[in-house]
Chain A
Amino acid sequence: DTGVSQDPRHKITKRGQNVTFRCDPISEHNRLYWYRQTLGQGPEFLTYFQNEAQLEKSRLLSDRFSAERPKGSFSTLEIQRTEQGDSAMYLCASTLDSYGYTFGSGTRLTVV
């Protein structure tokens, strides 16, 4: 493994469209996290998976957001009916033991 991969790197979408992002964590890492980062701010926690189980969702995640991690491997984050306020960098991180979190390069979403 070369690290955590996120796809796409950039996404421009029209308001109201649905978008889906993918994260491939380091293969032996059983814990996977999604964060959102807006310009000039630190990353904010969105959701956490241990294997395939989604154990926590932040109140930042409205009903328009859904995340999955089928089979405990890759994860997807879907945003339905995008709004301009959803424009941000979406970061994925994985870890095995919480002492070393590895972040992907992120997906930058722009809603126009």
Chain B
Amino acid sequence: SQQGEEDPQALSIQEGENATMNCSYKTSINNLQWYRQNSGRGLVHLILIRSNEREKHSGRLRVTLDTSKKSSSLLITASRAADTASYFCATDERSSGGYNKLIFGAGTRLAVHP
């Protein structure tokens, strides 16, 4: 089963603009991770934010986490055509068996036009 919703489902912007994607989830988490997937390929880990963190930066990426609202956002600044991909948030949950697993949202398809 999937954890939650991502918004928007699709986003189309011009190069140089910022792209913001939102993610909501349902249960308690250890951390939240964002992944990128180019068409027909595997997922690439972008950034991880722990449940006790509120904001994190990595290059042109900025992630926020609001555990009270069970939501996160990913901001890509100064977008490039090469950023065109699907972006997924994934919550890292601890199961009753004591191990962790990632639960993904449905993703946001980002298209950046030159």
Contacts and interface: CB of A to CB of B under 8 A. Distances in A.
B64 interface: no
B45 A101 contact: yes
Interface in A18-53: 31, 33, 35, 40-45, 48, 50
Given A42-B106, A99-B48, A101-B33, A91 B101 contact: no
Interface residues of A, number: 28
A105 B102 contact: no
B102 A44 contact: no
B31 interface: yes
Interface string B1-15: 110001000000000
B42 A56 contact: no
Nearest to A98: B100
A55 B2 contact: no
A37 to B, nearest CB: 8
Given A44-B2, A103-B43, A56 B101 contact: yes
A35 B30 CA distance: 20
Contacts of B88: 42-43
Contacts of B33: 101
Contacts of B82: none
Interface of A: 4, 6, 31, 33, 35, 40-45, 48, 50, 55-56, 89, 91, 93, 98-106, 108
